[in-house]
Structure 1
């Protein structure tokens, strides 16, 4: 059954904007698309290692993306139901040592009042680990982990 949308709010606009800002690694601009209570989590890791709020989400993102020599998001299919946005896309990660990975994602966002309130990334962590430099996981041991938020029961 086809449901006609009666609202005129484009919930995909903040999602598109946030991903463009992330692809540019414009951390300040990324934050402008996130609600103050937004929860971000990588589903392969689970809700116990989520981040909450724009500043902590950016801290979390920087751990993986800031050290890269190159990072780019490539847009794909985006569908929504007026609140939830599903986005199929892929990312290219390049390290200074020449290693690279192309990671396929499905991301689920919840958007309310023009801001992203929930961001869940579904991806294959083994695909990244297979391509990353040998020190990739060890580098997490010295990273700022002050962003960790246990979202168990909230997502």
Structure 2
């Protein structure tokens, strides 16, 4: 397989990924969507492909479940490696709840970028790093969440 590794292509790929993560760190949902392709698939690998989200609107619905209730949230950049359209991004997030709990989550995210838009986003992280530090009600709160975003990406990722 041959990849276009020209300077312009590298910039387009890294700009899309960095731009999306800056928007997410700001919890700027509208700006975040501008970095996602219409058929982009997002999934947390600890949960698996049966609970993915597809498309910018549903991806934002999915992200808001965990991030919108937080008192503060920030993403901290790390190492980014890519070959053509495929990107691996090591970074960490800090989550703080209004009730005083906090968590630092280590991530490796895998992205695929085409035409300046992210078409695939997979997050690899340790779920116990979150559940061990989240408020006791955190998982139970999902029972009341809008789950209309759920997309089964089995066989697509």
Normalised by the length of structure 2, the TM-score is 0.95
Choose which of 33, 36, 48 in structure 2 pairs with 1:34: 36
Q: After TM superposition, give the deviation of residue 7 of structure 1 in Å.
A: 5.9
Equivalent residue number for residue 97 of structure 1: 99
SS of 1:89's equivalent in the other structure is: strand
| Alpha-carbon distance between aligned partners in 2 of 1:80 and 1:106, rounded to the nearest angstrom | 13
| Alpha-carbon distance between aligned partners in 2 of 1:83 and 1:36, rounded to the nearest angstrom | 17
Preserved contact between residue 46 and residue 125 of structure 2 (Cα < 8 Å):
yes
Count how many residue pairs are aligned between Structure 1 and Structure 2.
Answer: 153
Q: After TM superposition, give the deviation of residue 138 of structure 1 in Å.
A: 0.2
Structure 1, unaligned stretches of length 5 or more? none
Q: After TM superposition, give the deviation of residue 16 of structure 1 in Å.
A: 0.2
| Alpha-carbon distance between aligned partners in 2 of 1:62 and 1:121, rounded to the nearest angstrom | 16
Q: After TM superposition, give the deviation of residue 95 of structure 1 in Å.
A: 0.2
Normalised by the length of structure 1, the TM-score is 0.96
Q: Out of 48-57 and 7-16, give the one that drifted further.
A: 7-16
Runs of 4+ displaced beyond 4 Å: none
Equivalent residue number for residue 5 of structure 1: 5
Preserved contact between residue 43 and residue 49 of structure 2 (Cα < 8 Å):
yes
The CA RMSD over aligned residues, in Å, is 1.3
Preserved contact between residue 4 and residue 84 of structure 2 (Cα < 8 Å):
no
SS of 1:25's equivalent in the other structure is: coil
Q: After TM superposition, give the deviation of residue 82 of structure 1 in Å.
A: 1.2
Structure 2, unaligned stretches of length 5 or more? none
C-alpha offsets along residues 52-81 of structure 1, whole Å, 9 cap, x if unaligned? 000000000000000000000000000110
